[in-house]
Structure 1
């Protein structure tokens, strides 16, 4: 559970290819392998998650910001890098998300002036 979405109970499932991830990740591949195993129904503990805290076939939701500007709706994720890599290795799975609305101006906190290129 994250600070931003802790009070949000609604879960959405989004196609991986609809979620923009503009910041390159730094990854722990053993953690990704554990998550892929969990998505495939064989829970596996990792350095940050105990086996008793895992639900087989599921990963915790990823916080996703959704911004609309001039009729264009875009989804952005700035965390959940290992979960996204696990979803990429498990074709056909929808990403479990907690979607938080934001504005284009709020996205500037993460992306600076480069936010404009996403809404052209």
Structure 2
């Protein structure tokens, strides 16, 4: 997937976290393209509340999630990893949303090795 052509973006001035505080652009990323590697303990009431909000208000009322973005240098394949935003992710998943609003945080292979250790998938 090419980042410039396959994702739609929207300007957004609010930040999701310290990692994306300086990132103004949000993207509507296909849910199927994002890997969520960490298990989560969810507050069911929070998930239900987010689902109601997503269904009844403008989508920009729910803050974007942060997604680590790695582009393999040789293949130019893009890899997306959601490390936070577990309640927002779960609400979109349960609603069968095709996309989720996200801020892309560029990452390196070395950083991914630190996050994943030996469980890092083969990123070709």
Sort the TM-score into its range (normalised by shorter chain).
Answer: 0.7 to 0.9
**Offset, 1:118:** 3.5
The residue that corresponds to 1:98 in the other structure is 103
Q: Structure 2: give runs of 5+ residues left out of the alignment.
A: 1-15
Any conservation in 1 of the 2:31–2:97 contact (CA below 8 Å)?
A: no
Secondary structure of the corresponding residue to residue 119 of structure 1: coil
Equivalent of residue 87 in structure 1, options 84, 89, 92: 92
Equivalent of residue 60 in structure 1, options 43, 63, 67: 63
Secondary structure of the corresponding residue to residue 82 of structure 1: helix
The residue that corresponds to 1:45 in the other structure is none
Distance 1:102 1:92 in 2: 25
After superposition, where does 1:69-88 map in structure 2 within 5 Å?
A: 69=72, 70-71=74-75, 72-88=77-93
Distance 2:122 2:41 in 1: 23
Q: What's the C-alpha RMSD, in Å, of the aligned pairs?
A: 1.5
Secondary structure of the corresponding residue to residue 63 of structure 1: strand
Larger strand share, 1 or 2: 2
Q: Which moved more, 1:93-102 or 1:27-36?
A: 93-102
Q: Structure 1: give runs of 5+ residues left out of the alignment.
A: 43-55
Secondary structure of the corresponding residue to residue 67 of structure 1: strand
